[in-house]
Amino acid sequence: MELTGAEITVRCLQEEGVEFAFGYPGGAVLYIYDEIFKQNKVKHVLVRHEQAAVHAADGYARATGRVGVALVTSGPGATNAVTGIATAYMDSIPLVIISGQVPTAAIGLDAFQEVDMVGITRPCVKHNFLVKDVRDLASTIKKAFHIASTGRPGPVVVDIPKDITTHKTKFDYPKTVSLRSYNPVTKGHPMQIKKAVKMLLSAKRPFVYSGGGVILSEASAQLAKLVKLLGVPCTSTLMGLGGYPETDRLHLGMLGMHGTYEANMAMQHCDVLLAVGARFDDRVIGNTEHFSQEKRQIIHIDIDPSSIAKRVKVDVPIVGDVGQVLDELIKQLQASKDKGDQTALKTWWTQIELWRSKNCLNYDRSSKIIKPQFVIEKLYEVTKGDAYVTSDVGQHQMWAAQYYKFDKPRRWINSGGLGTMGFGLPAAMGVKMAFPKANVACVTGEASIQMCIQELSTCKQYHLPIKVITLNNRYMGMVRQWQQFFHGNRYSESYMDALPDFVKLAEAYGHVGMRIEKPSDVEDALKEAFKLKDQLVFMDFLTDQTENVFPMVPGGKGLSEMILAEEL
């Protein structure tokens, strides 16, 4: 029997076991929507803006490790999706985005709602396809899922012209894919691993720097095993939080621009650095010249060769999957008689504890105005550290990262690489769809939340009782902070004027709204909100307008040149 392209598209999603497709209909995808209507295996989630469709699919992917799926129409539907696609690309998140396209014969003729989707998304996808023949459709979708989810994951766009969705062919979903030009290496080179073991055992001041690759590789168990085996200090990037239990003593907190004093000092002064699935981002190591002034040897494990030696020179590159490489590394370490220089390690720990005793995340706990850090600490307590926390972009994002202690992977969901305001709420929808029973909190700012606030309507339609935690400082706080430090206190266009009454707004969408103005009300309000299991609660916390994020490595400065709260 022959199926139409539209039927094939939906059948492929079913074959891939796709639970949810986040999308928005339009002319070019009408036949696909018709097939969505006729089945119930793939549940469609109707968002209110295509950017949110992609963010929701992305949140789903980050929380579950599975491929997220979005479906959008041609032209404006496709362009609206681009921010979401770029967000996923920068953080290596596996997505398949199906976009409608004008009929094949109309391509290139400036047809109604035509846009060169393959051209527009080329620099922000792992790969993309324009399907020109219905006979290629099933194999293309198979390839898309394969490419999105293997190697270094990433978003893949499949652009399907409308006529292809009506053409018929035999449906045969391929079981496997093989691409002669795409074979990611997963097993690390044994010789390199041997060198790494030797280097780690010779270290006097070893340090483990772990990133998003640990989460993507599902390798947190191996990371914990290795770090504990060696008894060495470790840190996580913003993307790696939860990859190693943050409440463990060996973890020094996040590093980087807003990392802890102890993590940044250890990064700067270690003599052997083991980088695991982290890419030496500019927000992490600051000024590279300053970073290189201290001599250290670097072992770098990454599945993407282009991440290695991109920004810093590496002594032992290991191309492979974090999990597989760490397994081998652990095996060799356990077999080794050499146990490393324990005396040196003790001295190193003494130094680290000294750094740690600075207590760099301390803040004014007696304040009469709500401190944003306090809200996050209470959120942590009330949810017993076990919530899924999504965030938007700004100061609130950094406070959530610093004060919520993530002990498990895939619990902290944020846009690190692109830093996309508007990510938090739709991402939380994706998480909540995946884990309806779990506590899902979206930590946001009064500016960020307004970038995708229309999704409160989607939350109503699909009964997604997310808790929106707005740290409302009436400023684009992160922008204001930079203006305070580097632009002579000229707060150019960073004040958030004419804010809506968020409580009424939430109510207008059919949710519960709360405004919290006093520190003494914070905990009770949070408890009450989380008790409302079936309600989305929009919590508007009026926080200290002048609070800044510390520590802070100013742009262009070295990692150890942090500004600390106490110094101001």
Ligand X SMILES: Cc1ncc(C[n+]2csc(CCOP(=O)(O)OP(=O)(O)O)c2C)c(N)n1
The HSE-up count of residue 237 (CA atoms within 13 Å, CB side) is: 26
- Residue 559 contacts ligand FAD per CB under 6 A: no
Q: Give the nearest distance from C-beta 370 to ligand FAD in angstroms.
A: 21
Place of tokens 């324009």: 130
With CB under 6 A, what is the number of residues at the site for ligand X? 19
Structure tokens given for 45: 């989630």
- Residue 420 contacts ligand X per CB under 6 A: yes
Residues numbered 147-176 forming contacts with another protein, rule: CB under 8 A: 147
297 interface partner picked from ligand X, another protein, ligand FAD, none, CB below 5 to 8 A per type: none
Residues numbered 300-319 forming contacts with ligand FAD, rule: CB under 6 A: 302-304, 307
Of 61, 22, 62, the residue nearest 43 (C-alpha): 22
**Comparison of 182 and 485: residue with beta carbon closer to another protein:** 182
Q: How far apart are the first and last CA of the chain?
A: 74
> What span, in angstroms and rounded, lies between the C-alpha atoms of 50 and 22?
9
Q: Is 238 helix (H, G, I), strand (E, B) or coil?
A: helix
With contact defined as beta carbons under 8 Å apart, do 54 and 81 qualify? Answer: yes
Asked if residue 551 has a cis previous peptide bond (ω within 30° of 0), the answer is yes
The HSE-up count of residue 96 (CA atoms within 13 Å, CB side) is: 26
Strand pairing class (2-4; 168-170): antiparallel
DSSP 286: B
Is-catalytic flag, 113? Answer: yes
- Residue 453 contacts ligand X per CB under 6 A: no
118 interface partner picked from ligand FAD, ligand X, another protein, none, CB below 5 to 8 A per type: another protein
- Residue 17 contacts another protein per CB under 8 A: no
Is-catalytic flag, 162? Answer: yes
392 interface partner picked from ligand FAD, Mg ion, ligand X, none, CB below 5 to 8 A per type: ligand X
User: Per CB under 8 A, which region of 52-60, 121-129, 415-423, 477-485 contacts another protein?
Assistant: 121-129
Q: Where are the beta strands (DSSP E) in 278-371?
A: 297-302, 316-319
- Residue 192 contacts ligand FAD per CB under 6 A: no
> What span, in angstroms and rounded, lies between the C-alpha atoms of 358 and 163?
65
Angle at 306 between CA 204 and CA 212, to 5 degrees: 65
Q: Give the nearest distance from C-beta 474 to another protein in angstroms.
A: 38
Q: Give the nearest distance from C-beta 445 to ligand FAD in angstroms.
A: 11
Place of tokens 């993530």: 406
Place of tokens 């498990």: 408
- Residue 395 contacts ligand X per CB under 6 A: yes
Judged on CB neighbours under 10 Å (0-12, 13-18, 19+), 412 is: buried
DSSP letter for each residue of 459-526: HHHTT---EEEEEE-SB-HHHHHHHHHHSTT--TT-B--S---HHHHHHHTTSEEEEE-SHHHHHHHH
**Comparison of 91 and 392: residue with beta carbon closer to Mg ion:** 392
Q: Give the nearest distance from C-beta 186 to ligand FAD in angstroms.
A: 8
With CB under 6 A, what is the number of residues at the site for ligand FAD? 37
Angle at 528 between CA 522 and CA 530, to 5 degrees: 100
Question: x/- string (CB under 8 A) for another protein, residues 483-502?
Answer: --------------------
Neighbours of 515 (CB within 10 A): 17
| Cβ contacts of 108 within 8 Å, gap of 6 or more | none
Q: Which of 433, 478, 539, 552 is catalytic?
A: 478
| Cβ contacts of 180 within 8 Å, gap of 6 or more | none
Q: Give the nearest distance from C-beta 497 to Mg ion in angstroms.
A: 12
> What span, in angstroms and rounded, lies between the C-alpha atoms of 487 and 429?
37
- Residue 477 contacts Mg ion per CB under 5 A: yes
**Comparison of 179 and 191: residue with beta carbon closer to another protein:** 179
User: Per CB under 6 A, which region of 8-16, 139-147, 255-263, 449-457 contacts ligand FAD?
Assistant: 255-263
130 interface partner picked from ligand FAD, another protein, ligand X, none, CB below 5 to 8 A per type: another protein
**Comparison of 289 and 534: residue with beta carbon closer to another protein:** 289
- Residue 426 contacts ligand X per CB under 6 A: no
DSSP 67: P
**Comparison of 149 and 383: residue with beta carbon closer to ligand FAD:** 149
Q: Binding another protein by CB under 8 A: which of 43, 310, 405, 515?
A: 310
477 interface partner picked from Mg ion, ligand FAD, another protein, none, CB below 5 to 8 A per type: Mg ion
- Residue 478 contacts ligand X per CB under 6 A: yes
Continuous H helices in 217-341: 220-230, 261-269, 282-285, 288-293, 322-335
Residues numbered 440-459 forming contacts with Mg ion, rule: CB under 5 A: 445-446
- Residue 126 contacts ligand X per CB under 6 A: no
- Residue 417 contacts ligand FAD per CB under 6 A: yes
User: How far are the Cα atoms of 248, 313, 348 from residue 264, in angstroms, in the given order?
Assistant: 18, 19, 14
| Residues lying near another protein in the complex (CB under 8 A) | 118-119, 122-123, 126-127, 130, 147, 179-182, 304-306, 309-310
User: What residues are labeled active site?
Assistant: 50, 112-113, 162, 478
| Residues lying near ligand FAD in the complex (CB under 6 A) | 91-92, 152, 211-213, 216-217, 237-240, 254-259, 277-279, 281, 283-284, 302-304, 307, 321-322, 393, 397-398, 416-417, 419, 478
